[in-house]
Amino acid sequence: MKLKFYKYQGTGNDFVILDNRNGEVGKLTAAQIKKICDRRFGVGADGMMLLEDARGADFKMVYYNADGKLSSMCGNGGRCIVKFANEMKVVDGLCNFVATDGSHRAKLRNGNVQLGMNNVSNILIEEDVFILNTGSPHYVLFVDAIQSEDVKTEGRNIRNNDTYKTEGINVNFVGQTSNGIYVRTYERGVEDETLSCGTGVTAAAIAHHAKNIKSNGNFVILVDTLGGSLKVHFTCKEGQYSTIVLEGPAEFIFEGEIEI
């Protein structure tokens, strides 16, 4: 079977997107999805998404990790599928879509995609470690030397320890910059460091506020990653985080067909 695909990237986090509004893609196996995402034998991507019809929303986002398993919310993937939906004329600049963690609003602004994220109210804090869920579970660790951090080794060890090995957790290493933070992420499902992680960047920005700022108000945190820069907007009131928006670029790379 030949599949028409579109490849997008958001700050280096890359995805294969399939238009499944007519249902013709059907049920792909984990092995087939893994092959599509394979960087040597397939298209190559950190994950794969299906754009599907949804009752009461503009579309539905179905996300799979590169290991072929159905996964939780992906922030950069969400921004990329919004850009794809706009370019396919499914929506026009502003949209409301459904993902595994519920409804999201998004819009295109000045070439970037602004993606509304779900509220965050529960943060587990253990010294310099912050554990929270921003659509996907995240472990956020503040470190002194972010550029020299062995993200792959340390991230894999944390992700596979007795506490997290069953469900898995994304591990984010965070360093301070002159105007914000720098984030490097080990992603479950990819089982490696990626150039960027949208829900991880969001989690790191909120953890940065909880650790270093702490006051109530409206905030914009500038976040650098290996793949580029993002902004996280949010409101904090007594430790409750709302109106969270992940903002950054999303770009079409190429399209084609693959035999599976």
pLDDT at 26: 75
Catalytic-residue membership of 80: no
Q: What is the CA radius of gyration of the chain?
A: 18
Rounded CA gap, 123 and 118, in Å?
14
Q: Side chain identity at 86, as an amino acid letter?
A: N
The residue written with tokens 């579970």 in the block is: 137
From the candidates 37, 74, 80, 236, which is the catalytic residue?
Answer: 74
* Identical topology for domains 2-113+250-259 and 124-248: yes
Task: State mean pLDDT over 197-209.
Answer: 98
Task: State mean pLDDT over 175-180.
Answer: 97
Which listed CATH number (3.10.310.10, 3.40.50.1100, 3.40.1390.10, 3.10.50.40) goes with 2-113+250-259?
Answer: 3.10.310.10
85-117 pLDDT, tens digit each = 999 999 999 999 999 999 999 999 999 999 999
pTM over 0.85: yes
Residue 105 near residue 116, CB atoms below 8 Å: yes
Please state which of the ranges 10-14, 126-130, 214-218 shows the lowest mean pLDDT. Answer: 126-130
Task: State mean pLDDT over 9-36.
Answer: 95
Rounded CA gap, 230 and 98, in Å?
22
Domain ranges of the chain: 2-113+250-259, 124-248
Neighbours of 113 (CB within 10 A): 24
Neighbours of 154 (CB within 10 A): 15
Tokens of 11: 């700050």
* Domain 124-248 listed as CATH 3.10.310.10: yes
Catalytic-residue membership of 74: yes
pLDDT confidence of 249, banded at 50, 70, 90?
A: very high
From the candidates 37, 80, 95, 197, which is the catalytic residue?
Answer: 197
pLDDT at 27: 85
Query: What residue spans of the chain are helical by DSSP H?
Result: 30-37, 75-87, 151-159, 198-208
Q: Side chain identity at 45, as an amino acid letter?
A: A
